[in-house]
Chain A
Amino acid sequence: MNVVLFVGSPRTPSNTRSMAAFLRARLEERAIQPVVLDAKRATIEETDVTRSVDAIRDADVLVLMGPVYLDLPPHLMLAWMHAIWEQREALSDTAPAVYAISHSGYFEPIHKALSLEAFEHFARRMGWTWHGALAFGGTSPIDGKALEEAGPFSAKVRPALTRLADLIVEGSSIPSHLARAASRRPIPLPKRWIVRLMNAYLRRAAKRVASS
């Protein structure tokens, strides 16, 4: 089975990359060696598009992974989707199953909803099969660490990605109960408390930025 993971984050360190590494490891445990497409910069270049088209041409599964900036995937990811759309004739004999993963620091699912809609529109326009999406919130404190080291902030992410690896192997869509479980807030506290915790995290981050 050929699986392609597209990592759509312009940031370093990147939580998307942490999630991709975790999913890759779970797939490798299932004897799948995924191709990871990761521009590792803020722009998509022609070589990225050529490599992507070559990888997708052989793909059974495509997993789109990215953060959410202002309710949508970042420019990098939309530019990549647009570039792939432009190459649709070259990919006309390909129909991978498409899964998507969105995440953001905001814990409410509504912040990720339009990002997932954009992924679904993309898959349908390409004529590919939409197999559903996972949205994770409150992920900022993961801060690019390996998910295994991110404690409670990756507690919803790890089991969901492990289950996603199984679903990919089975060729199944993401069931709604899994999507709901993944989107629950990582720490079951009232919103006001979470806001206080996040603001404390931001104060620490500000000190780190000031000293760098």
Chain B
Amino acid sequence: MSREDRMRIVLLSSLQPTGFGAVASALGGAAGERHGDTVLLDLTRAAVHPCLACGRCNHTGRCILRDEMTEILPEIASCDLLVLATPIAFGVHDPVMKRAVDRFLPLAGERFAIRHGEMHHAPRHSKRFDLLGIGRLEASVAPEEGETFERLIGRHAVNLACSRHATVLLQEDVQVKRTVRDGLARLGVEP
């Protein structure tokens, strides 16, 4: 496969460093650095400001904040696969991941349109990427929270106008590689 044909992957992870490293490794990249066409961002170490909800990006497509999230948004808009790896808290992203996800707002276009029979912002980017959600579910947490997380990734896929989506749940770190590969397989991606 030529470089041009290689899949462009963006991984955003709020898992603790060992989990981030394991997911990055399973995706074929080296944790903590840009590796070929894989962009990896460890959100537990990155400088990401919370969204101010100023609404300017809605009109301009650009965020007024300048940080690592600003730099990675164009990578997301042009990627083939976006991977969100997070501990599950109350059935959804942990606050560290949500801080980054709130900053996705510039990806949405200014105007509303009807998509999937629902009102949505039309996407600003023309490229359609796949979405893989990886949620770490603590053993003590009710399984219903995992079900909520699966629905969340499905909703993100609609909101971000993704082509396809899949969700996998990590129960223990030792299963990371197999679980990630299972998720990739569901999207028809060969790791």
Contact = CB atoms under 8 A, between A and B. Distances in A.
Interface string A84-115: 01000000000000000000001110110010
A118 B92 CA distance: 7
B55 A205 contact: yes
A191 B95 contact: no
Contacts of B52: 10-11, 42
B158 to A, nearest CB: 9
Contacts of B95: 75, 78-79, 82
A196 to B, nearest CB: 9
A199 B89 contact: no
B91 A118 contact: yes
A210 interface: yes
Contacts of B56: 209
A74 to B, nearest CB: 6
A119 B155 CA distance: 17
A76 B148 contact: no
Contact of A69 (B105, B113, B118, B151): B105
A195 B102 contact: no
Given A114-B151, A209-B56, A42 B51 contact: yes
Contacts of A81: 89-90
B104 interface: yes
A108 B119 contact: yes
Most chain B CB atoms below 10 A, which of A72, A85, A199, A206: A72
Interface string B93-106: 11100110110110
Contact of B92 (A78, A198, A210): A78
Interface string B144-170: 110010011001100100000000000
B118 A110 contact: yes
Contacts of A72: 92-93, 98, 101, 152
B142 interface: yes
A70 B50 contact: no
A199 B94 CA distance: 32
Contacts of A70: 101-102, 104-105, 156, 159
Given A70-B101, A78-B98, A121-B144, A198 B112 contact: yes
Given A191-B119, A198-B112, A118 B53 contact: no
5 smallest beta-carbon distances between A and B, as pairs: A11-B53, A79-B95, A121-B90, A42-B50, A75-B99
Interface of B: 49-56, 58-59, 89-95, 98-99, 101-102, 104-105, 110-114, 118-120, 141-142, 144-145, 148, 151-152, 155-156, 159
Interface of A: 9-11, 42-43, 67, 69-72, 74-76, 78-79, 81-82, 85, 106-108, 110-111, 114, 117-119, 121-122, 124-125, 191-192, 194-195, 198-199, 202, 205-206, 209-210
12 contacts: A72-B93, A74-B51, A78-B92, A85-B90, A114-B91, A114-B148, A118-B91, A118-B148, A198-B112, A199-B111, A205-B55, A205-B58
